[in-house]
């Protein structure tokens, strides 16, 4: 899978599919690129030396899964809160637990190196256990894979 989007709803969909596929015995690799990188950011500010543009990007983009917006009906964050609260009330695993569960069960979470370069994000700013890889690595895995999605 390629996760290009950094929307809360699409991130949830991606990780539900990933967890489902792993449960059914498949090997799953997800390349996080562009806005998708934000899903993998640590929630706390990491002290890194950066240029002005890189700092601006880092400041303007959501830092980590808890800050993601909905792709529709976000209503300044209210929609995102509503979805999270509904999921909790209906006993559906939260995005953070879906990510943890995916990584614990061997889903390969790869941050796109070129996107990290463009957006000025370094490895230290990403959650633990994330690998760094390029489009070549993804394509190699995709060729061997039965199901490919761009989310």
Q: Minimum distance from CB of 123 to a second copy (Å)?
A: 17
Map the footprint of a second copy across residues 8-27, applying CB under 8 A. Answer: 9-10, 13, 16-17, 20-21, 23-24, 26
Based on the shown chain and the rule CB under 8 A, indicate whether residue 92 belongs to the binding site for a second copy.
yes
Distances (CA, A) of 14 to 1, 53, 89, 113: 8, 30, 21, 20
Laid out side by side, the sheet with 108-112 consists of 2-3, 29-32, 108-112, 131-133
Among 29, 30, 32, 35, binds a second copy (CB under 8 A): 35
CA atoms within 13 A on the CB side of 106: 9
String of contacts with a second copy for each residue 38-77, x by CB under 8 A = ---------------x---x--xx---------xxx----
């Amino acid at each position: 899978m390629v996760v290009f989007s950094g929307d809360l709803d699409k991130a949830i969909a991606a990780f539900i599919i990933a967890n489902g596929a792993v449960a059914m015995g498949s090997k799953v690799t997800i390349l996080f690129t562009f806005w998708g990188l934000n899903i993998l950011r640590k929630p706390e500010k990491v002290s890194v030396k950066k240029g002005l543009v890189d700092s601006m990007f880092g400041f303007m983009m959501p830092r980590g899964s808890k800050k993601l917006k909905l792709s529709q009906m976000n209503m300044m964050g209210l929609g995102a809160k509503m979805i999270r609260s509904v999921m909790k009330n209906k006993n559906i695993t939260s995005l953070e637990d879906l990510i943890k569960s995916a990584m614990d069960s061997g889903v390969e979470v790869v941050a796109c190196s070129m996107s990290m370069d463009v957006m000025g994000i370094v490895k230290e700013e990403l959650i633990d256990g994330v690998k760094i890889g390029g489009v070549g690595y993804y394509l190699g895995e995709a060729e061997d894979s039965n199901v490919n999605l761009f989310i």
